[in-house]
Amino acid sequence: MQPRLAAAAVAAAVVVLTATGCNFLTPQATTIRYDASDGVSGVTGGVEIHNAMLVGEPEGDSLSLVASFANDGEATIVEIRYDDAVQQVRVGQGLTTFGFEDQIVMPANPDLVFGELENVSFQADGAEPTGLEVPTISTEVVGYESFAPTE
């Protein structure tokens, strides 16, 4: 009876290791950074940029930069450049979000085609500028109607 019990234990161990052993070789998906929404992310100095996107009306002449900034350090100024336009925004310690109520409005490139990527540069105080290829989204896209520039 002992050999059967040992064989059953070995068989159970093989089944368990076969079913769960791949976790030892496969990287966990939750440790891979990616942009889960329509925007893009980056870092400038100690400021992280999350979910940045440019939203505008099809016949409009301005775009709203929608983004969240995470800052673990002291409050700082982030300079944002798009085409010839420059905006400076204060990013406090913690999370600062722009887009719905507080807007960063940039003039639209006359040749803008919604759905394409536009180069936007972000630079925190004294840090190297970070250029991101930011998606442009029309307010005709469901869910983005309320992000239209108001200025």
Model confidence band, residue 111 (pLDDT cutoffs 50, 70, 90): confident
Would you say residue 22 has pLDDT above 70?
A: no
Residues 6+ apart with CB under 8 A from 81: 120, 121, 123, 129
Burial class from Cβ neighbours inside 10 Å (0-12, 13-18, 19+) for residue 100 reads exposed
Measured CA distances, 44 to 63, 89, 95, 105 (Å): 22, 14, 15, 20
CA distance 120 to 54: 9
Mean pLDDT confidence for 109-118: 89
Per-residue pLDDT tens for 49-102?
999 999 999 888 889 899 999 999 888 999 999 988 898 989 999 888 887 667
Model confidence band, residue 24 (pLDDT cutoffs 50, 70, 90): low
CA dihedral 38, 44, 47, 51 (to 10 degrees): 0
Would you say residue 1 has pLDDT above 60?
A: no
pLDDT given at position 23:
62
Average of per-residue pLDDT values in the chain: 85
